[in-house]
């Protein structure tokens, strides 16, 4: 595991974007796993700048979302398909038909989940999965208690996740109760993982995920078992880490002044 600690989110975005660009260089039809939430926004902004400058080549790139809400109408602003088009695909000049998102709006969500898992396999798997982390340590929508063997499936959102995500909706009751999420095993099959965390409210989850026991109570802790994980943190998200302990188990680049 390699951990980068940056001064602020903008610098983090630039470094993580460069990491993604380099990791996908030489992959002929790269498959990028993309996340929603606020954490990846600076990464997408920096990737868009690199795509527009011509250094990050997006021709041939396909993207697969981590998750999608169940039951939001097609045109809802918070439907993750729409969020990803707005924040990621359009600024980078990637056609919407190359952005794959589970179908959370249909009649049969379990079937949509199974088809999505299959679509990832058919695409040859994910070369690099970008992740945020929830305050309770969820990745995707794999809430505490999720099985490490889980594949893409329908999941119930915890109350704490619904409260955390209410800021994106006009009314808290509008936050869906279910989502379709890549499973923890799906995420672990990605050939590389980049996890982004910013802000003090993530500090406890970051410490537990990186230096605590590997347990289903802290879903992100499973990443300790992944052979190619890079973590990008701002100073606030890194604040609870015991850097001495961390240096005994990971490569730490502290880029702060
Ligand atoms: C959501 C998403 C996750 C995301 C997490 C953190 O629930 N499903 O993929 O990582 O929240 O979001 P944020 O980055 O906005 O804190």
Instruction: Please report, for the chain, the start and end positions of each structural domain, with discontinuous segments joined by +.
Output: 2-253
Residue nearest to atom 10 of ligand 1 (CA): 132
pLDDT in single tens digits along all 257 residues of the chain: 999 999 999 999 999 999 999 999 989 999 999 999 999 999 999 999 999 999 999 999 999 999 999 999 999 999 999 999 999 999 999 999 999 999 999 999 999 999 999 999 999 999 999 999 999 999 999 999 999 999 999 999 999 999 999 999 999 999 999 999 999 999 999 999 999 999 999 999 999 999 999 999 999 999 999 999 999 999 999 999 999 999 999 999 999 97
Opening angle at CA 87, ends 83 and 88, nearest 5: 105
**3-state SS class at 75:** coil
* 155 in contact with ligand 1, CB cutoff 6 A: no
Q: How far is the CA of 71 from the centre of ligand 1 (A)?
A: 18
* 5 in contact with ligand 1, CB cutoff 6 A: no
pLDDT of 144 reads 97
Q: How far is the CA of 133 from the centre of ligand 1 (A)?
A: 6
* CA 138 remoteness from chain centre: 10
* 38 in contact with ligand 1, CB cutoff 6 A: yes
pLDDT of 86 reads 97
Which one of 3.40.190.10, 3.40.50.1360, 3.30.530.20, 3.40.109.10 gives the CATH number of domain 2-253? 3.40.50.1360
- Which of 9, 33, 34, 39 most suits a substitution to test ligand 1, by most atoms within 8 Å of the C-beta? 39
Opening angle at CA 137, ends 133 and 140, nearest 5: 50
Residue nearest to atom 13 of ligand 1 (CA): 37
pLDDT of 83 reads 98
Does the model's pTM come out above 0.95?
Answer: yes
Residue nearest to atom 12 of ligand 1 (CA): 37
The reply to whether 142 belongs to the active site is no
The reply to whether 67 belongs to the active site is yes
Measured CA to CA in angstroms, residue 85 lies from 68, 80, 82, 95, 101 at distances of 13, 8, 5, 9, 11
pLDDT of 105 reads 95
Residue nearest to atom 9 of ligand 1 (CA): 140
* 133 in contact with ligand 1, CB cutoff 6 A: yes
Q: Which residues of 237-251 are buried (b: 16+ CB within 10 A; e: fewer)?
A: bbbbbeeeebeeebe
pLDDT of 257 reads 74
């Amino acid at each position: 595991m390699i951990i980068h600690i940056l001064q602020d989110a903008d610098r983090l975005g630039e470094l993580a974007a460069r990491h993604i660009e380099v990791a996908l260089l030489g992959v002929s039809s790269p498959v990028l796993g993309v996340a929603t939430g606020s954490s990846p926004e600076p990464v997408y902004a920096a990737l868009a700048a690199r795509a527009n400058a011509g250094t990050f080549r997006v021709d041939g790139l396909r993207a697969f979302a981590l998750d999608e809400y169940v039951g939001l109408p097609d045109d809802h602003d918070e439907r993750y398909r729409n969020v990803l088009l707005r924040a990621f695909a359009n600024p980078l000049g990637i056609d919407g038909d190359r952005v794959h998102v589970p179908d959370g709006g249909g009649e049969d969500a379990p079937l949509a989940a199974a088809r999505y898992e299959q679509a990832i396999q058919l695409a040859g798997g994910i070369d690099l999965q970008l992740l945020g982390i929830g305050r309770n340590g969820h990745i995707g929508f794999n809430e505490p208690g999720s099985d490490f063997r889980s594949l893409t499936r329908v999941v119930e959102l915890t109350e704490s996740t619904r409260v955390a995500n209410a800021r994106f909706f006009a009314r808290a009751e509008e936050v869906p109760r279910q989502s379709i999420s890549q499973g923890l095993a799906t995420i672990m099959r990605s050939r590389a993982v980049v996890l982004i965390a910013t802000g003090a409210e993530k500090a406890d989850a970051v410490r537990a995920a990186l230096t605590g026991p590997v347990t289903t109570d802290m879903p992100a802790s499973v990443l300790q078992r992944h052979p190619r994980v890079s973590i990008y943190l701002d100073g606030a998200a890194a604040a609870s880490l015991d850097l001495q302990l961390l240096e005994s188990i990971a490569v730490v680049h502290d880029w702060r002044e």
